[in-house]
Amino acid sequence: MIWILLAAATLVVLGAQGDDSPSPGRGPGSNPQRDKLIAGATNTAIPGVKAKVGVVLTKQVSQALLKLRQALPPSVDIVVTDGWRSPEGQAARLWSRYKKGGTISGKAYPPGWGVLYALYRADWIIDELKSVGADRDAWADVLKDLAADHHYLSDHQLSRAFDLRTRGMPSAHRILIIKTVTRLGGEPLDEGDHLHIENLD
């Protein structure tokens, strides 16, 4: 049945699906950390996987999530914060990092170009973006042109990556997800406020 649900090419998470009411005797606030983890997320077509509204789950991303879900104990929550990205979506994520900085594999980077060079392997694409200045719309245009020539900055643009929320997640669960993804042949990257998972085929 689950494979039938995943057969569609793309699923955009639009809103609540299924019964997401708390268990008897466990009202809101009974587990503040978990409440923080699942806040604003809704059920997806994959049992045991939630996602932020608006996240695009392609068939390839959904299959990777199913593989991970089946390998983890039910007690580990999976909340997807990002899936497939358009050039405009990719530019928006870049802009946020550029303006805020971020933590990558435990190292903090201030706002600016440095965090983008640290986060992405394709320095030459960051150079292209830098050449048009700090302009999100111009970055989207550059990424569109590159995609037309089959050049991509992020595996998100190829449906080969997704992000998982870690806010409110117990550290033991974060470590378990990283170890499980690695065991399954994927590549996890701890970006501080989320785990980036790629190549989990």
**Residue range 3-48, pLDDT digits in tens:** 444 444 466 776 544 434 333 333 445 678 777 777 778 889 999 9
Whether 126 is covered by a domain: the verdict is: yes
Q: What's the domain range around 97? A: 87-153
Whether 57 is covered by a domain: the verdict is: yes
Whether 55 is covered by a domain: the verdict is: yes
Whether 47 is covered by a domain: the verdict is: yes
Q: What are 146-191's pLDDT values in tens digits? A: 999 999 999 999 999 999 999 899 999 999 999 999 999 999 999 9
For residues 48 and 10, is the Cβ–Cβ distance under 8 A?
no
Distance of alpha carbon 66 from alpha carbon 61, whole angstroms: 9
Structurally, the chain folds into a number of domains equal to 2
Distance of alpha carbon 24 from alpha carbon 1, whole angstroms: 28
Q: Are 99 and 146 found together in one domain?
A: yes
Q: Are 79 and 167 found together in one domain?
A: yes
Is the pLDDT confidence value at 88 over 80? yes
DSSP state letters, 160-174: -EEEEE-TT--HHHH
Q: Are 75 and 126 found together in one domain?
A: no
For residues 104 and 194, is the Cβ–Cβ distance under 8 A?
no
pTM of the model: 0.82
Is the pLDDT confidence value at 99 over 80? yes
Instruction: Phi first, then psi: give them for residue 196, nearest 5 degrees.
Output: -95, 125
Q: Are 96 and 165 found together in one domain?
A: no
Q: Are 138 and 178 found together in one domain?
A: no
Burial class (CB in 10 A: 0-12, 13-18, 19+), 121: exposed
Q: Are 35 and 91 found together in one domain?
A: no
Token pair 């037309």 in the structure block, residue = 148
Whether 165 is covered by a domain: the verdict is: yes
